[in-house]
Amino acid sequence: MIKNTMILLLILSPLYADELRLIREWRFGSYGSDVWGYKASDGTQYAIYGVSWGIAIVNVNTLSVADTIQLDSCLWRDFKTYRNYLYAVEDCWDNPGIGILIIDLSPLPDSVRYVKSYTDQGGHFHNIYIDTATATLLAANGNIKVMDISDPENPVAYTPIPTSVHDIYARNDTVYVAEGTNSFSIWDITDKSNPTLIVRKDIPGGWLVHNIWVNDDRTLAITTEEDVYRTVKIWDISDLNNIILLGEYLGANSLAHNAYIFGDKAFISHYGYGVVVLDISDPMNPLEVAHYDTYDPCWGVYPFTDGGYVYASGMDGYLYILKYDSIPLNAREVENIGLNLEKPSTVNIYDASGRKIFSTKIKGKFVWKPKKRGVYFYEVKREDGVFRGKMMYLK
């Protein structure tokens, strides 16, 4: 008999057992790409999903399809919203390209209004971002096209940012660039006629820095690299003259696609592991606190909603509406796992990736304390069976 088993190890209060659960899913075709969100003036929330034939817009409040936009076939689409407008791009070189598609969303929930395709800066863009504080649209196409959208239906081009680029994030005229190489860079575009490089950070051993996202106070950045066994990296960017790698995370499938910071959590889409939520309140020790397996490659995730909704996009054409909940636990503080083993037993401890990190044979009292916070699994083997459990340690 195993007595006094502590499954949760608590140092920091409060502790949350977080949950991602499915609300509804749709399949819109054979292939899907990015997902974004939009909140209307009446509070209605919408999920915007790119599929091979165009764009699907789902009313999250009523869990119904609000409208669809038919476009030429393309496998890669990206979106952002500004005020009541949707800006969409695509990156498929077997068609002329839509440029920057501008859609007025104000007629929702009944329909949307096509405004135009802005093609003055080219037809194909891989990624798009909007600095809402300055009404500046940035689009990746060889370099970074920079456009004023203070008149949302009539973009005006500025001087491009001269850098290689895969994905973009921007805030108050500071632009953070995942360069698609082994580096990311940060630019000042206060003077739109003269984009200025602030810093470029090379990642030793890095490869194809895919996306970058920054927290609200611009002290942390998170990056992904689109290759197996490349970790998601969390950076201290509070001093741009001394950018420091703080923590790393590798999901079970070893390949993360996109990562986004929302509060003290990071939401990550994985090609073979679905959606992961990381607690990054201690960025040196990111902790996986929730997971939902989409069972098809997960392209993107959008967590910036009211009510804890999370939108996830599958590459097999599925859109997932998830609900993220943090549930407080009433548990007393303990500092270790304690087992009272009445029979000779083998105790194995595994980390979150399944790697065995401790093993012993023992009878009687067993106490084990992790060296750092995280999720751990224990396994007790003895003559009459095998007993397993999961534990979380926060410090």
Burial of 334 (0-12, 13-18, 19+ CB in 10 A): middle
In contact, 257 and 298? CB cutoff 8 Å: yes
Q: What is the mean pLDDT of residues 278-288?
A: 89
Q: How many of the other CB atoms lie within 10 Å of CB of 272?
A: 16
Q: What is the pLDDT of residue 395?
A: 61
Residue 8 pLDDT greater than 80, yes or no: no
Domains in the chain and their CATH numbers? 2-10+331-394 (2.60.40.10), 20-328 (2.130.10.10)
Q: What is the pLDDT of residue 16?
A: 39
Q: What is the pLDDT of residue 327?
A: 60
Distance CA 185, CA 197 (A): 7
Residue 386 pLDDT greater than 90, yes or no: no
Q: What is the pLDDT of residue 337?
A: 64
Q: What is the pLDDT of residue 184?
A: 98
In contact, 235 and 222? CB cutoff 8 Å: yes
Distance CA 390, CA 384 (A): 20
167/393: higher pLDDT: 167
CA-nearest of 151, 65, 163 to 115 is: 151
**pLDDT band at residue 4 under the 50/70/90 scheme:** very low
Using omega within 30 degrees of 0 as the cis cutoff, is the peptide bond preceding 283 cis? no
**pLDDT band at residue 111 under the 50/70/90 scheme:** very high
Residue 13 pLDDT greater than 90, yes or no: no
Mapped to the 3 state alphabet, what secondary structure does the chain carry? CEECCCCCEECCCCCEEEEEEEEEEEECCCCEEEEEEEECCCCCEEEEEEECCEEEEEECCCCEEEEEEECCCCCCEEEEEECCEEEEEECCCCCCCCCEEEEECCCCCCCCEEEEEECCCCCCCCEEEEECCCCEEEEEECEEEEEECCCCCCCEECCCECCCCCEEEEECCEEEEECCCCEEEEEECCCCCCCEEEEEEECCCCCCEEEEEECCCCCEEEEEECCCCCCEEEEECCCCCCCEEEEEECCCCCCEEEEEEECCEEEEEECCCEEEEEECCCCCCCEEEEEECCCCCEEEEECCCCCCEEEEEECCCEEEEEEEEEEECCCCCCCCEEEEEEEEEEEEEECCCCCEEEEEEEEEEEEECCCCCEEEEEEEEECCEEEEEEEEEEC
Residue 384 pLDDT greater than 80, yes or no: no
pLDDT in tens, 327-382: 654 333 345 666 777 788 898 888 766 678 999 998 888 888 888 777 777 788 88
Residue 195 pLDDT greater than 90, yes or no: yes
pLDDT in tens, 216-239: 999 999 999 999 999 999 999 999
Distance CA 342, CA 326 (A): 37
Residue 385 pLDDT greater than 90, yes or no: no
Distance CA 107, CA 148 (A): 24
Q: Which residues of 246-270 are buried (b: 16+ CB within 10 A; e: fewer)?
A: bbebebbbbbbbbbbbbeebbbbbb
Task: Look up residue 313 and give its two tokens.
Answer: 């996009």
pLDDT in tens, 285-329: 888 888 899 989 999 999 999 999 999 999 999 999 999 987 654
Greatest CA separation for the chain: 76
Q: What is the pLDDT of residue 14?
A: 34
Q: What is the mean pLDDT of residues 135-154?
A: 97
Task: Look up residue 139 and give its two tokens.
Answer: 């689009």
Q: What is the pLDDT of residue 335?
A: 53
Q: How many percent of the chain have pLDDT more than 70?
A: 89
264/6: higher pLDDT: 264
Q: How many percent of the chain have pLDDT more than 90?
A: 70
Q: How many of the other CB atoms lie within 10 Å of CB of 365?
A: 11
Distance CA 237, CA 239 (A): 5
pLDDT in tens, 18-72: 789 999 999 998 899 999 999 999 999 999 999 999 999 999 999 999 999 999 9
What is the C-alpha R_g of the chain? 23
Residue 10 pLDDT greater than 60, yes or no: no
Q: What is the pLDDT of residue 313?
A: 98
